[in-house]
Structure 1
Amino acid sequence: MKTALISLSMRGGAAALALTLAQLAHAHAYPTHQAPAAGSAVPASQKDVAIDFDDSLEPAFSSITVTDAHGGAVTSGKTVVDPSNSKHMSVSLNPLTPGVYTVSWVAVAADGHRTQGHYTFTVK
């Protein structure tokens, strides 16, 4: 009887831990789609960078910056989190010239958890 209770208690504890970890995994916003995509080659007519996330974003603390190979900013205006889709964030770009560009993003989920990352794309 005592062994069965201990076993049941251990299984319950393991289930509670798994549930907690699953909730923590969903507490951060991670990219699901990027345009332009990481490593892609795009024409100089590229007008913006847009990233979709798997969780709603807090607009005041989420951002995208895009820099050229020399570290100069090429964004025009502020990052926008779409009011009708709080999982979509974008920023407009100045005219681009051929070269490699770095996209750096910060995503703060609606619950306050922060993630960040970066990737590059090339303009032909």
Structure 2
Amino acid sequence: MKVIQHTGLGVAQKLFVFAVAAFMAGSAFAHVFPKTEEPAASAVVTSPAQVRIAFTGPLEPAFSSLTVTNAEGTQMTAVKAKVDPANTSVMSVGLPVLPAGHYIVHWVAVAPDGHRTQGQYPFDVK
């Protein structure tokens, strides 16, 4: 009678399993979200020259966007948002002089791996 003993996973197999698990955990965090916002959410400010958001990771410039609308839903941004080439986790868009009122920042952030997040936040100009 032949006895087969199972010795468990070898070192190479354990390393492979660990690498796959680490990759899977890392891909769960591939979505990027705002880390800092200028002007900040719910802030009351004088007319800002731009809106600038720093995200938790790099952005894909071709698919990420940033716009500002007024309380009536009219888009106030006349130019396309830009991702900073020196720091690809930062996106900004210039603004005209904004009259006093309520504004909403709308953002879409696409990570280089294609994961997309989006959101919005308000601010007011006094």
Distance in 1 separating the partners of 2:88 and 2:55:
9
Identity value in percent: 51
Deviation at 1:20, TM superposition (A): 5.4
SS at match of 1:119: strand
Is 1:25 aligned to residue 56 of structure 2? no
Pairwise CA RMSD: 2.4
Distance in 2 separating the partners of 1:109 and 1:122:
29
Q: Which amino acid aligns with 1:84?
A: A
Higher helix share: 1
Structure with higher Rg: it is: 2
TM-score (norm: length of structure 1): 0.82
Unaligned runs of 5+ in 1: 6-14
Distance in 1 separating the partners of 2:67 and 2:21:
36
Unaligned runs of 5+ in 2: 1-7, 9-17
Give the total of aligned pairs.
Answer: 118
Distance in 2 separating the partners of 1:43 and 1:22:
42
Distance in 2 separating the partners of 1:63 and 1:114:
11
Is 1:39 aligned to residue 42 of structure 2? yes
SS at match of 1:89: strand
**Which of 31, 42, 52 in structure 2 is aligned with 1:50?**
52
TM-score (norm: length of structure 2): 0.81
Deviation at 1:23, TM superposition (A): 1.3
Deviation at 1:39, TM superposition (A): 0.5
